[in-house]
């Protein structure tokens, strides 16, 4: 028997589940979540067993649309065209009360920033490395990584690699596609070296349409004979190249309110996410900032250069763009704004 030293956590594993019966999956997506006992690798056999595809979801525990879609697919007893491997990593974070609340558990690393060497001893790096080794062994034709945005807004795809295969994958879900050179350690970055992989952001985690969009996209992806060549959308894709990330500096106090607030260094308007994929102009008020913007924000482009002063300024404490911009992936959650970024943007 292998003994694990008491000061070392056991290495994470994926629980393997092959062709679940309808009786074994529970009566709802939530029940399904609570039947899982840790990171899960769910394997569905397809009509052509010689090929396979992968879907990853719940890298972030507060983004339920992908899991609901998998439950629905199992409930509808959809027979895939090829074998499908679902990887569901952050089960523990998703299950933690009140449920689908934690992006990651407190003190854990963001799992979708861990997909690059070197891998440390943290559970998240180990799980990311394990997922990569599973994908390398299985050699799926493609990988779809299904997420939700934390603010409300429409769906979009993200890729670090632009070609017909990636366009085809995104077009199962949406017609908006972000193409970025930025490397943060996200799963989709394996496209560079391993297999076509795209991120799908299904829209807000609280919105019912996001679940429907995830289900319809995944259903088409698993049922299609060929997923890498033909575009599957009637609309042409709209591209957004190399967005800039507006990040806050560490330990800044961020709040959302209609008026400037003494407790916050940065006060943002509560309906900021209404601008998702819309335009903001010089005249658009985004919020209020005390003092110098550069003390609070960075706006890095894909080359790592800070472009803050080019795109934003304050006028009497009011935080505004300097020019017409398109914003997306806007969060109205101060914790995510602080830990990840407030929004992405491109100049238009
Ligand atoms: Zn996510």
Q: What is the mean pLDDT of residues 284-299?
A: 94
| pLDDT at residue 232 greater than cutoff 80 | no
pLDDT at 35 (0 to 100):
98
pLDDT at 250 (0 to 100):
85
| pLDDT at residue 339 greater than cutoff 90 | no
CA of 64 to the centre of ligand 1 (A): 10
CA of 262 to the centre of ligand 1 (A): 31
Give the contacts of 157 (CB within 8 A, at least 6 positions apart).
169, 170, 173, 174, 176, 177, 178, 198, 199, 200, 201
| pLDDT at residue 244 greater than cutoff 70 | yes
| pLDDT at residue 233 greater than cutoff 90 | no
Q: What is the mean pLDDT of residues 170-175?
A: 94
Q: Find out whether 138 and 125 touch, Cβ atoms under 8 Å.
A: no
The pLDDT confidence band at residue 141, using thresholds 50, 70 and 90, is very high
pLDDT at 209 (0 to 100):
94
| pLDDT at residue 1 greater than cutoff 80 | no
Paired tokens of 37: 């006992």
Q: What is the dihedral of CA 171, 69, 154, 92, to 10 degrees?
A: -120
> At 125, phi and psi to the nearest 5?
-65, -40
CA of 109 to the centre of ligand 1 (A): 13
CA of 62 to the centre of ligand 1 (A): 8
| pLDDT at residue 317 greater than cutoff 90 | yes
CA of 49 to the centre of ligand 1 (A): 30
CA of 33 to the centre of ligand 1 (A): 17
The pLDDT confidence band at residue 120, using thresholds 50, 70 and 90, is very high
CA of 148 to the centre of ligand 1 (A): 6
How far apart, in whole angstroms, are the C-alpha atoms of residue 306 and residue 328?
Answer: 18
CA of 60 to the centre of ligand 1 (A): 5
Tell me whether residue 193 is exposed, middle or buried, using C-beta atoms within 10 angstroms of its C-beta: 0 to 12, 13 to 18, 19 or more. exposed
CA of 212 to the centre of ligand 1 (A): 17
The better pLDDT of the pair 234, 299 is held by 299
CA of 94 to the centre of ligand 1 (A): 12
Q: Which of 16-20, 110-114, 301-305, 322-326 has the lowest mean pLDDT?
A: 301-305
CA of 13 to the centre of ligand 1 (A): 21
CA of 113 to the centre of ligand 1 (A): 10
**CA nearest to 11, candidates 23, 2, 19, 20:** 2
| pLDDT at residue 311 greater than cutoff 60 | yes
CA of 201 to the centre of ligand 1 (A): 7
Q: What is the mean pLDDT of residues 61-66?
A: 97
Identify the three-state secondary structure at position 130: helix
Q: Which of 94-98, 118-122, 257-261 has the lowest mean pLDDT?
A: 257-261
Edge-first strand listing for the sheet containing 244-248:
279-280, 325-328, 343-347, 244-248, 297-300
pLDDT at 8 (0 to 100):
60
CA of 203 to the centre of ligand 1 (A): 10
Give the contacts of 97 (CB within 8 A, at least 6 positions apart).
none
């Amino acid at each position: 028997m292998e003994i694990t030293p008491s000061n070392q956590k056991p290495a994470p594993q994926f629980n393997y589940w092959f062709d679940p019966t309808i009786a074994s999956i529970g009566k709802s997506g939530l029940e399904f979540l609570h039947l899982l006992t840790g990171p899960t690798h769910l394997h569905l056999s397809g009509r052509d067993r010689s090929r396979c595809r992968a879907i990853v979801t719940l890298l972030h525990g507060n983004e339920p649309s992908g899991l609901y879609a998998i439950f629905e697919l199992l409930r509808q007893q959809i027979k895939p065209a090829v074998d499908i491997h679902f990887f569901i990593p952050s089960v523990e974070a998703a299950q933690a009360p009140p449920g689908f609340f934690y992006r990651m558990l407190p003190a854990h690393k963001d799992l979708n920033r861990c997909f690059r060497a070197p891998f440390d001893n943290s559970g998240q790096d180990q799980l990311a490395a394990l997922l990569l080794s599973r994908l390398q062994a299985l050699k799926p034709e493609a990988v779809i990584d299904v997420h939700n945005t934390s603010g409300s807004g429409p769906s979009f795809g993200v890729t670090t690699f632009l070609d017909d295969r990636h366009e085809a994958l995104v077009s199962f879900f949406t017609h908006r596609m972000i193409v970025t050179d930025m490397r943060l350690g996200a799963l989709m970055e394996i496209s560079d070296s391993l297999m076509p992989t795209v991120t799908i952001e299904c829209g807000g985690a609280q919105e019912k349409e996001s679940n429907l969009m995830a289900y319809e996209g995944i259903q088409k992806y698993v049922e299609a004979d060929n997923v890498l060549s033909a575009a599957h959308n009637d609309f042409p894709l709209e591209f957004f190249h190399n967005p800039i990330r507006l990040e806050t500096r560490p330990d800044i106090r961020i709040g959302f309110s209609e008026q400037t607030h003494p407790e916050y260094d940065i006060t943002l308007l509560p309906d900021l996410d209404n601008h998702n994929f819309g335009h903001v102009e010089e005249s658009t008020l985004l919020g209020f900032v005390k003092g110098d913007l550069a003390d609070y924000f960075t706006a890095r482009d894909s080359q790592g250069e800070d472009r803050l002063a080019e795109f934003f300024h304050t006028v009497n404490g009011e935080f505004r763009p300097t020019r017409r911009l398109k914003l997306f992936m806007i969060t109205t959650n101060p914790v995510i704004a602080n830990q990840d970024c407030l929004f992405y943007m491109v100049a238009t």
